[in-house]
Structure 1
Amino acid sequence: MYRVRRVKSPFRITSATLDVLEAFLSAREELHGFAVAKAAGKPTGSIYPILARLEQAGWLDSHWETEHPEEGRPRRRFYALTPHGGQAARAIVLERRGELPTPQTSAPHRPRPAFGSLARWRAAW
């Protein structure tokens, strides 16, 4: 059983930030920005500012891919949790969501709709 320890965050933890942290906690390898957006179920426009805040706080490390990308595709920037970031992410996700995501071998976890919006949309149909 995990012990919940309150972590003081250097920034506001939104539901989108929690989704990003869960994407990293469930990944077995570093992720590029688009993969984070896909795993978190959020648009890239909201993901990149979160990634920048997490990196500035020292929770993420990043690097540009060194191989030449495929024709017509820009280089990717890869992100991974730092040891401190991993501990903080686990504590915050556990505190806010009550459980930690299970690491995935290949496919990322299914994104959760914010505030039940998908359930309301399905009910309308």
Structure 2
Amino acid sequence: MLDVLEAFLVSGEELHGFAVAKAAGKPTGSIYPILARLEQAGWLDSHWETEHPKEGRPRRRFYVLTSNGAQEARSVIMERRGKLPSPAVEQPRPRPEFGFLTRWTGA
């Protein structure tokens, strides 16, 4: 459960179940029961994907920490692990040195 909570704290955004499993490094079969328990406890909110998925892929259910869930998650992780996970920080893309190169690199 701690790995799942950390995945949400690090991302800072809503995640679908497979993304949570990937971020937590756990199989989906163990992730979905945890997500259900966290939602039932009021730590997560969820909603189904509203747009039509690509052919061959089922609709995804997205989960997000509630404000209370985020507070509780931080508290539990501090208690159990002694430190909070670092939030994901997007690294800036390197820019070309010469302006004319942007046309060729797509930047």
Could you state the TM-score of these two structures normalised by the residue count of structure 1?
0.70
Residue of 65, 72, 76 corresponding to 1:88: 72
Over residues 45-64 of structure 1, what are the superposed CA-to-partner deviations in whole Å (9 max), with x where a residue is unaligned? 00000000000000000000
- Unaligned 5+ residue runs, structure 1? 1-16, 107-125
Residue of 63, 85, 92 corresponding to 1:101: 85
**Cα drift, residue 28 of structure 1:** 2.5
Say yes or no: does 1:31 pair with 2:15: yes
**Cα drift, residue 29 of structure 1:** 1.4
Could you state the TM-score of these two structures normalised by the residue count of structure 2?
0.82
* Inter-partner Cα distance in structure 1 for 2:87 and 2:45: 19
- Unaligned 5+ residue runs, structure 2? 91-107
Amino acid at match of 1:68: H
**Cα drift, residue 103 of structure 1:** 1.1
Matches within 5 A, 1:28-67: 28-67=12-51
Over residues 53-88 of structure 1, what are the superposed CA-to-partner deviations in whole Å (9 max), with x where a residue is unaligned? 000000000000100001100000000000110000
The corresponding residue for 1:77 is: 61
Over residues 75-111 of structure 1, what are the superposed CA-to-partner deviations in whole Å (9 max), with x where a residue is unaligned? 00000000110000000001100111111146xxxxx
Name which structure has the greater RCO, CA cutoff 8 Å, separation 6+: 1
Over residues 14-42 of structure 1, what are the superposed CA-to-partner deviations in whole Å (9 max), with x where a residue is unaligned? xxx00000001101310000000000000
Aligned residues: 90
**In terms of Rg, which structure is larger?**
2
Residue 103 of structure 1 aligns to a residue whose secondary structure is coil
